[in-house]
Amino acid sequence: MANWNAPSTTLPCKACGATLPPKARRNPTLAHSWRGGPKRKSLGSPVSLPPPPLFDLVILGSGPGGYRAAVLAAQRGLRVAVIEEGIWGGCCLNRGCVPKRAWHETARSVDLTDAAQRGIQGKLTVDFVVAWQHQRHIVERVRDSYLSFLDRLGVERIEGRGRIAAPGAVVVDDRRINATHILIATGSHPHLPQGWPSDNPRILTTNDLFDTLPPHRGHWALIGGGIVAVELAYILPLLGIGVTWLCRSTPLKHIPEVVRTPVLQALARRGIAPRIAPIPTPEIDNDAVRIGGECFDAVLVATGRTPNTSDLGLEHLDLEAHGPISVNERCQTAAPGVWAIGDCTPGPMTANRAMREALTVVDAITGAATPTKGWRNQIPTAIYSATEGAFFGPEDEALEDAGFEPAVGFVAFDVLPQALAQGQAHGFARLVADMDSGEVLAGQVVGEQAGELIQMLSTLPPGQALRFLAQSAVNHPSLSEIWSEVAIGMGKQWGLNPQLWGETAPD
């Protein structure tokens, strides 16, 4: 056996027999990395090695999921690039959540159902052109902030169509970009019913609604029964646009009934209700659009969205190139090093889901955490219409089918001074916990700030949720008091006091 501590300068390498310098003797496995290299025997033609990855993570798409993933990854020290073919910020920022929320706040400002009781006189009206410009100013301001933040974090922004050429490689025009990980966050586009034209200015999608100033005089037909349609059915009339709402079936049919019914009732109190019937293909001329013999100046189609998964090079990864991309619990595709999140994967098409899945992907890439079982059930969904509605988790029957014994807590807003001050006595909060463990399984809120209140449930510490709610210090008067009221009531009603106050507490 060779003595690696010997002073000889002619000690041979075990791998190739080359003479090693003194500094390499103590670590023969690194002997060939010393500057200048060893005097090796000829091994034939040189081996061509692939270039090292240029980025740790390359993201296709800059919507809420892609943007969130870029920020989280860059803040953890990863080298990140984002590729965007369209408008930076994706659908949510430019054509969805952000501009629609701006309009919703405008609509609420003129929808003062208790104005007379408050001594407010007169009638407010909205200038649609100014309201449209207002949401554009907000969108542009947020987009500028997004891009500035990405630049400060050192994220490279690449404009163009990104296509996956091979595992670990994306091509944009003539540029090849190597990466250890690729995240597909390409979002979705509006779906038009079969046979409906996509190039007629009188047939509008939600993209058209926010891309350019739409025709805002006359009477529109609104087609659809999902969350977006239910929101626009409330917003558009208050912005001065006449609307006839047409649906093929009951609106919000995929939303828990406990939320769906009060949201639709709030619309009905304002004279807004859908006409449920088959919807024929429109007949269009220069002056109007005819649907079933009724004439409209324009038709706004809000009938869902289709994943953006075509022409991405997915065939090079043996992935399905059409429709949603299948992923596992950690948002991994079947291709190593390739991940997918948001609208381009199966599941609810919400920014909330895309942003939460971005965290899951970055955690997995960096080895930070493993998602808990059922983590997607904790992602909230919100509706901003004549009243707000929000929820997370399965419905009661699904929980029972899964083997849980649900304990339900319910408190109406009319016990809260703040809700009465805001004219929101019709609201409520509902909480579902497991009888055995006290673990929070689901929650629903209807009323003012429901979208904010639901988040108090979706971030609760595992195993301590009811105790956290019951013992939280909150501002008074405020709507956030509702959850402590619900939790405390459940302790007495369902014998869950030990989960609230400790093992020695009486049931």
- pLDDT tier at 117 (50, 70, 90 boundaries)? confident
Give the residue from 185, 163, 190 showing the smallest Cα distance to 61.
Answer: 185
Q: Are 16 and 41 in contact (CB under 8 A)?
A: yes
Tell me the pLDDT tens digit for each residue of 215-259: 877 899 999 999 999 999 999 999 999 999 999 999 999 999 999
CA–CA distance, 287 with 297 (Å, rounded to integer) = 7
CA–CA distance, 27 with 22 (Å, rounded to integer) = 10
Query: What DSSP element (H or E) covers 18?
Result: none
Q: What pLDDT shows up at residue 382?
A: 97
Q: What pLDDT shows up at residue 5?
A: 43
Q: Give the residue with greater pLDDT, 108 vs 374.
A: 108
Q: What pLDDT shows up at residue 51?
A: 66
CA–CA distance, 32 with 38 (Å, rounded to integer) = 6
Tell me the pLDDT tens digit for each residue of 335-386: 999 999 999 999 999 999 999 999 999 999 999 877 777 889 899 999 999 9
What backbone phi and psi angles, to 5 degrees, belong to 37?
75, 165
Q: Give the CA distances from residue 325 to residues 26, 67, 89, 347, 375, in Å, rounded to whole numbers and listed in that order.
A: 51, 19, 21, 11, 19
Q: What pLDDT shows up at residue 143?
A: 97
- pLDDT tier at 18 (50, 70, 90 boundaries)? very low
Tell me the pLDDT tens digit for each residue of 129-148: 999 999 999 999 999 999 99
Residue 153, pLDDT > 90, answer: yes
Asked if the bond preceding 477 is cis, omega within 30° of 0, the reply is yes
| Residue 461: Cβ within 10 Å count | 8
Read off the tokens for 272: 């807004």
Q: Give the residue with greater pLDDT, 195 vs 262.
A: 262
CA–CA distance, 431 with 361 (Å, rounded to integer) = 29
Q: Are 433 and 465 in contact (CB under 8 A)?
A: yes
Residue 21, pLDDT > 70, answer: no
Helix axes 128-152, 64-75, angle to 10 degrees: 30
Q: Which residues of 278-310 are buried (b: 16+ CB within 10 A; e: fewer)?
A: ebeebebeeebbbbeeeebbbbbbbbbbbbbbe
Residue-range domains of the chain with CATH: 55-189+307-366 (3.50.50.60), 203-303 (3.50.50.60), 387-501 (3.30.390.30)
Taking residues 413-426, report their average pLDDT: 92
Read off the tokens for 441: 């399984």
Q: In sequence order, what E strands does 133-202 have? A: 156-159, 162-166, 169-172, 175-184, 188-190
Helix axes 257-268, 227-238, angle to 10 degrees: 20
What backbone phi and psi angles, to 5 degrees, belong to 286?
-70, -20
Percentage with pLDDT > 90 across the chain = 70
| Residue 193: Cβ within 10 Å count | 14
Percentage with pLDDT > 70 across the chain = 89
Q: Give the CA distances from residue 472 to residues 81, 394, 417, 444, in Å, rounded to whole numbers and listed in that order.
A: 41, 25, 18, 19
- pLDDT tier at 506 (50, 70, 90 boundaries)? low
